[in-house]
């Protein structure tokens, strides 16, 4: 048994709801034949799938990053506004995009969802002027040709897009318009300067990696202009070969799930920028997207070699309790680092590796969707002190490439709410086979205990059309007593609420 002690009077941080953010890109079926599907009986009069939007509203999507991703580095936004749309050959993903879903449709979607828009700009083939023109179109009242163009397109009031990212993964050789560190620092500085001149209230991010040289160059050049620094990470890399890691292999990656945050925090602190610039972990997922023969020097010939294989991303049996448990561990880490991490965006929200899968007649809520449901709707917004005098139980697993690793079996955080009484503990049991028992010590009088859990029948449980193995289950445990024991099922994600009676 592992005993934890909680002191709700000691607050360690208050999380920004944007750490539960999401991302959507013009890739495969995320936009077209996804959220935007005019003519489908499930779509509204403007072409948006109502069932998908309802699912997104349930997890209170706070912010939605768009349009990429790698897509954005050859995307010119002006081709996708107004009545005359120019189709785009997307050089990142090698397909034609009709440009029928552009800036205005995206902002309309965000308004329907009640979330903040977060636009990622083209820093590959684009220019600082093109980026600042985009801010003009979205945010100016009526000055200049681009605000007037928005008005002529039927949008009299500004879109008021507050959050903007300069570029995507421009540090990577796979990205169109990749830059070296010196080039990147100069481009970001000039883009940020022009964007802030258009709208000083915008909050700007720029692409970074946990690399000292890259980030030092970026922050020395651009620190005064930036509000955020953007980092991305996928752990189970499968761009060329779709060979998902097993449950046990995925648990190995929970060992240092916040390492990128730790590295970037150190650089910000060394430059005395930790109070000015926050981390946006604005693209993350356990498993990378499968897209063979496009990010390689030798390109696929024939769509059956580079487009059709993308359907493998939508094999729902891939998204098991491994994905749910890893996602919960990641979100726990972001909550623990909520003083420096103000945003995180699960990539993507729909189809591909998303937490929602759509087909022509409905949707499937994958295991990861229910983790967001738990954390958004059942967990508190204020992280409080929790500790233990016991030795943490451990689990021996192997990485996908074979190296052994020892990881903590449990991952726990304690929270409370800023607008009501009570506490909520997120408790993850990573063990594939064995239950774990915890005891909670605390001064909570006249309180009841309710536990909400995700576990499935086994570690490989998943949801699909006509298959619903992973859901949230409620258990009324009873009146709280200090030292009370609670059993966590194997491979489970749990939120334990202690609420006043």
Going residue by residue through the chain (501 aa), what tens digit of pLDDT does each one get? 999 999 999 999 999 999 999 999 999 999 999 999 999 999 999 999 999 999 999 999 999 999 999 999 999 999 999 999 989 999 999 999 999 999 999 999 999 999 999 999 999 999 999 999 999 999 999 999 999 999 999 999 999 999 999 999 999 999 999 999 999 999 999 999 999 999 999 999 999 887 788 899 999 889 999 999 999 999 999 999 999 999 999 999 999 999 999 999 999 999 999 999 999 999 999 999 999 999 999 999 999 999 999 999 999 999 999 999 999 999 999 999 999 999 999 999 999 999 999 999 999 999 999 999 999 999 999 999 999 999 999 999 999 999 999 999 999 999 999 999 999 999 999 999 999 999 999 888 899 999 999 999 999 999 999 999 999 999 999 999 999 999 999 999 999 999 999
> Omega into 89 within 30° of 0, i.e. cis?
no
What pLDDT does 213 receive?
Answer: 86
Domains of the chain, earliest start first = 2-11+381-500 (2.60.40.1180), 15-377 (3.20.20.80)
Q: Please give the C-alpha separations between residue 484 and each of 5, 292, 473, 501, in angstroms, as whole numbers.
A: 11, 51, 20, 17
- Smallest CA-to-CA distance from 342 within 1, 4, 21, 10 is with 21
Helix pair angle (367-377, 50-58), 10° resolution: 50
The answer to whether residues 350 and 35 touch, using CB atoms and an 8 Å cutoff, is yes
Angstrom distance (rounded) from CA 212 to CA 271: 12
What pLDDT does 442 receive?
Answer: 85
What pLDDT does 63 receive?
Answer: 98
Helix (H) or strand (E) holding 51: helix 50-58
Helix (H) or strand (E) holding 185: helix 181-198
Residue holding tokens 């359907």? 311
* Range list of β-strands (E), 402-491: 404-408, 410-416, 423-429, 436-441, 447-454, 463-464, 467-468, 473-479, 484-488
Q: Three-state SS for 8?
A: strand
Which DSSP category does 225 fall into?
A: G
pTM over 0.85: yes
What pLDDT does 209 receive?
Answer: 83
What pLDDT does 301 receive?
Answer: 96
């Amino acid at each position: 048994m592992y005993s934890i002690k909680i002191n709700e009077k000691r607050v360690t941080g208050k999380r920004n709801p944007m750490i539960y953010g999401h991302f959507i890109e013009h890739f495969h079926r995320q936009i077209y034949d996804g959220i935007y599907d005019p003519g489908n009986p499930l779509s509204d009069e403007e072409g948006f799938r109502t069932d998908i939007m309802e699912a997104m509203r349930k997890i209170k999507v706070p912010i939605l990053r768009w349009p990429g991703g790698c897509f954005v580095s050859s995307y010119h936004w002006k081709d996708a506004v107004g009545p005359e749309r120019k189709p785009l050959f997307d050089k990142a993903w090698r397909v034609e995009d009709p440009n029928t879903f552009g800036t205005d449709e995206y902002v309309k979607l965000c308004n329907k969802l009640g979330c903040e828009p977060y636009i990622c700009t083209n820093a590959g083939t684009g220019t600082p002027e093109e980026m600042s023109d985009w801010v003009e179109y979205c945010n100016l009242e009526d000055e200049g040709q681009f605000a007037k163009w928005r008005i002529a397109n039927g949008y009299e009031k500004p879109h008021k897009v507050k959050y903007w990212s300069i570029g995507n993964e421009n540090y990577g050789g796979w990205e169109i318009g990749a830059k070296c560190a010196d080039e990147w620092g100069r481009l970001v500085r000039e883009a940020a300067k022009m964007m802030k001149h258009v709208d000083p209230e915008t909050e700007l991010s720029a692409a970074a990696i946990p690399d000292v040289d890259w980030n030092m160059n970026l922050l020395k050049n651009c620190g005064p202009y930036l509000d955020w620094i953007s980092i991305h990470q996928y752990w189970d890399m499968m761009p060329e070969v779709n060979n998902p890691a097993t449950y046990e292999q995925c648990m190995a990656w929970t060992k240092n799930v916040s390492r990128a945050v730790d590295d970037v925090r150190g650089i910000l602190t060394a430059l005395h920028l930790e109070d000015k610039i926050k981390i946006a972990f604005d693209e993350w997922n356990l498993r990378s997207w499968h897209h063979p023969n496009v990010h390689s020097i030798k390109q696929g010939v024939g769509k059956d070699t580079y487009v059709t294989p993308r359907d493998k991303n939508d094999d729902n049996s891939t998204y098991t309790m491994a994905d749910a448990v890893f996602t919960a561990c990641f979100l726990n880490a972001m909550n623990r680092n909520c003083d420096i991490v103000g945003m995180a965006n699960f990539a993507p929200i729909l189809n591909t590796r998303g937490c929602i899968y759509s087909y022509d007649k409905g949707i499937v809520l994958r295991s990861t969707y229910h983790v967001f449901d738990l954390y958004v709707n059942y967990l508190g917004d204020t992280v409080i002190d929790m500790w233990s005098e016991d030795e943490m139980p451990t689990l021996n697993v192997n990485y996908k490439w074979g190296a052994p690793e020892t990881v903590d079996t449990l991952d726990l955080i304690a929270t409370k709410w800023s607008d009501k009484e009570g506490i909520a503990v997120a408790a993850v049991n990573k063990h594939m086979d064995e239950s774990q028992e915890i005891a909670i010590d605390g001064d909570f009088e006249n309180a009841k205990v309710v536990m909400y859990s995700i576990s499935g029948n086994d570690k490989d449980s998943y949801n699909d059309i006509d298959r619903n193995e992973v859901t949230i289950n409620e258990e009324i445990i009873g009146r709280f007593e200090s030292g009370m024991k609670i059993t966590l099922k194997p491979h489970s994600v749990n939120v334990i609420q202690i609420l006043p009676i």
